[in-house]
Amino acid sequence: MKIPIVQNILNANDQVAAENRATFKKDNLFVINLMASPGAGKTSLILATIGQLPETAQPGVIEGDIASSIDADKIAARGIPVVQINTGGTCHLDAPMIRSALPHLPLNNLNLLFIENVGNLVCPAGFDLGANIAVVVASVSEGHDKPYKYPAIFATADAVILNKSDLVEVFEFDMPYFRHGVEMVNPTVPIFPLSCRNGQGLAEWVKWLVEQTIRNE
């Protein structure tokens, strides 16, 4: 009896996601849906990425959290347009939430939008937001088994970032094992080991991201 209800929710979400996608296309806005577990470093990645983007990039951010505006405040402190969405307990963002946030951003002055999804490796994978690409952020401190425990979210990714790569030896992180787990469900997805703390590997990720925006023009 619950299956039709779930299907109706997802169908309604997909319809709004399509509307979001049309809005983004009209405004020449390239949108990245960042998904990760809590503490993986999504906000740090956004700030580090923006710091290395070309001058032509005009980024904005939608911050998704169950509560608080801590991450949005960090973004705003850098002078970056940002909107906070508090879900009040919901474990993911959905397309209607994104649609409601858009009027609060200067879309005419932006060409790049980061959506920081709620920290969760399960629910966000099932909800299309209308973004151009989905990026999963894992971190060394979480362990090398995440692709095996949460295969669905890695299977949907257009790119996988392994943050805190400067701590590989400290946490005895098994990089080949992690890569194998990702490639089992997503054989061709690019994987970017990097560190937002020291900048290691960041240039490769930013180069790839800029290439995606150019292809979308």
Residue 215 reports pLDDT greater than 90: no
| pLDDT, position 3 | 41
Q: Are the C-beta atoms of 113 and 29 separated by less than 8 Å?
A: yes
Residue that the structure tokens 């649609």 belong to = 99
Q: Is the Cα dihedral 141, 50, 35, 103 positive or negative?
A: positive
| pLDDT, position 88 | 85
In tens, the pLDDT along 50-61 reads: 999 999 999 999
| pLDDT, position 150 | 97
In tens, the pLDDT along 82-107 reads: 999 998 878 899 999 999 999 999 99
Spell 146-158 as b/e; 16+ CB within 10 A means b.
Answer: bbeebbebbebbb
The CA-atom distances, in angstroms, between 174 and each of 141, 150, 171 are 11, 17, 9
As a whole number, the mean pLDDT across the chain is 93
| pLDDT, position 145 | 98
Distance between CA 60 and CA 53 in Å, rounded? 13
Helix segments in 61-149, DSSP class H: 70-77, 95-101, 146-149
Torsion of CA 59, 63, 64, 70, to 10 degrees: 160
Mean pLDDT of 53-71: 94
CATH superfamily of 2-216: P-loop containing nucleotide triphosphate hydrolases (3.40.50.300)
Predicted model pTM: 0.93
